[in-house]
Amino acid sequence: MGTITEEIKRRKTFAIISHPDAGKTTLTEKLLLFGGAIQTAGAVKSNKITKTAASDFMEIERQRGISVATSVMVFEYNGQQVNLLDTPGHKDFAEDTYRTLTAVDSVILVVDSVKGVEAQTERLMEVCRMRDTPVIVFVNKMDLEGRDGFDILDELESKLSIKVQPLSWPISKGYSFKGVYKLYDKSLNLFESNKTKIAEEIVQIDDLSNPILDDLIGQYANELRQDVELIDSVYDPFKVDRYLKGELAPVFFGSAMNNFGVKELLEKFLEIAPVPQSRESDKREITPTEEKFSGFVFKIHANIDPRHRDRIAFLRVCSGKFERNKFYKHVRLNKEYKFPNPVTFMAQAKSTIEEAYAGDVVGLYDTGNFKIGDTLTEGEALMFKGIPSFSPEIFKELINKDPMKAKQLDKGIRQLTEEGVAQVFFQEPGSRKIVGTVGELQFEVINYRLEHEYGAKCIFEAKSYFKACWITSTDVSKLEEFKRIKGNNIVQDKEGRDVFIAPSQFMLDMEKQNYPDLTFHFTSEF
């Protein structure tokens, strides 16, 4: 065990994000293999294990076969501690992913070489852009007849609004995929389709004009020479600080399923990815190496199995050292709590930990004291910023089906929204409740949980709204006028802030034009 500073400086906390099916699970599994965190090397088979058991620990997930839980996978590699925060694969749980992104210091984005940049990827990247999170792109499935490397780079730049720069370059693709040329150390990594071992053949080629290249990759040698010449003329040497500022995303090519290109991705990631970063609070900026502990809750995981009604609050440690059984201040409630069984996660296994350092994620058993964004400290009254609610995309009115259970319904929906399952907006007169989510599936989850956990019955009535925007203005009279005229579409969030529910993009654009003094925010933090 090193000093607090040494411990923090050897940590890398990140998430892998992708559009479903691009290969996030497969890549995660390969990284864990390299890290020695799992031993099952049969890629195809262990993929299945990953999908059905490892990294899934919630009943609903087993029922539906999709990942709704965000767990944390910890492994050591070359003296560094890697904290990989898993994100749900299903798009309906995107908000979970958005929140997880508030707890990481960097991101690896997986893109399918055949499908290119897909819708979900664009949205996830928008969230990364909000905090300038450094991103590394892994273009996966190069063993398929995907797109040309330059086409993919173009698409990444145009659709993700970030500059990209290849650090490795594919040699052909699909059936004729030969491997990648590592631009940063001028070596050739030759591809051998092999799902069961990690061995790769690496050849140092300092000068691409060397005829040995023709022996190794035959007809593709000249293509590679031309491509690299073009890359050298287009790109300046790679600058790590631009990556760290979130301005430039280095790009790697490979095939996760075949263990190809993963090791260089991991090693480069460990070399350049940021260590735990400072965070804004409402009082001051908190540096990770500060002696005193602080952290915030970014996710709450409820076990919907009625026999195990426990909730786990996931806390990102932001500074200092967290210790088991020590009293910490829950700032919002202004109360001291200690945690006898803080846990860390490895796939579906949980284990109790004694201590955790800035950058780590700890699971805290919770009986309902936490909500998303809550801060724990060693006494200082501060709240971390940057854990916003995002505008939902599907809206339904919650209608009570059992008047005798109105209280249970109220309590249930309030608690579920504090866990982040959905957002609820209130409309007067009549105390109507409009529930907003990013996916249809959440309504099923809410329905199920309200009934099983709170004994309340409800139905949802679909509303054809487009987006919820928090509205503010420096001109109070203008804001009041807008609220009066648009009364039917004005609601309040749980904190009582004004929200405009726009019926359509067209209407939203029009209101923005008509009310230039108003600001329309797409996240709850502004």
Residues forming contacts to ligand G4P in the complex (CB under 6 A) are: 18, 20-26, 44, 47-48, 89, 140-141, 143-144, 255-258
- Least separation in angstroms between CB 45 and ligand G4P: 9
Q: Are 285 and 170 in contact (CB under 8 A)?
A: no
Q: Indicate the pairing of strand 394-400 with strand 187-190.
A: unpaired
- Least separation in angstroms between CB 27 and ligand G4P: 7
Nearer to ligand G4P, 48 or 407 (CB): 48
- Least separation in angstroms between CB 253 and ligand G4P: 10
What CA–CA distance (Å, rounded) separates 97 from 227? 36
Among 117, 359, 139, which residue's Cα sits nearest to residue 261?
139
Nearer to ligand G4P, 1 or 199 (CB): 199
Residue labelled with tokens 């890359």: 231
Distance of CA 173 to the CA centre of its chain: 29
> Which of helix, strand or coil describes residue 220?
helix
Nearer to ligand G4P, 16 or 156 (CB): 16
- Least separation in angstroms between CB 435 and ligand G4P: 27
Among 272, 325, 7, 44, which residue's Cα sits nearest to residue 165?
272
> Which of helix, strand or coil describes residue 340?
coil
Q: Residue 167 carries which DSSP code?
A: S
Give me the helices (H) in 374-466, please. 406-419, 441-454
Q: Residue 260 carries which DSSP code?
A: B
Residue 32: how many other CB atoms lie within 10 Å: 24
Nearer to ligand G4P, 75 or 384 (CB): 75
Nearer to ligand G4P, 44 or 404 (CB): 44
Nearer to ligand G4P, 25 or 165 (CB): 25
- Least separation in angstroms between CB 18 and ligand G4P: 5
- Least separation in angstroms between CB 111 and ligand G4P: 10
Amino acid at 322: F
Quote the tokens at residue 102.
């508030």
Q: Over the range 47-85, which residues count as b (16 or more CB within 10 Å of their CB) and which as e?
A: beebbeebbbbbebbeeeebbbbbbbbbbebeebbbbbb
Nearer to ligand G4P, 259 or 375 (CB): 259
Q: Residue 80 carries which DSSP code?
A: E
- Least separation in angstroms between CB 200 and ligand G4P: 14
- Least separation in angstroms between CB 311 and ligand G4P: 26
- Least separation in angstroms between CB 46 and ligand G4P: 9
Residue 337 host element (H or E):
strand 335-337
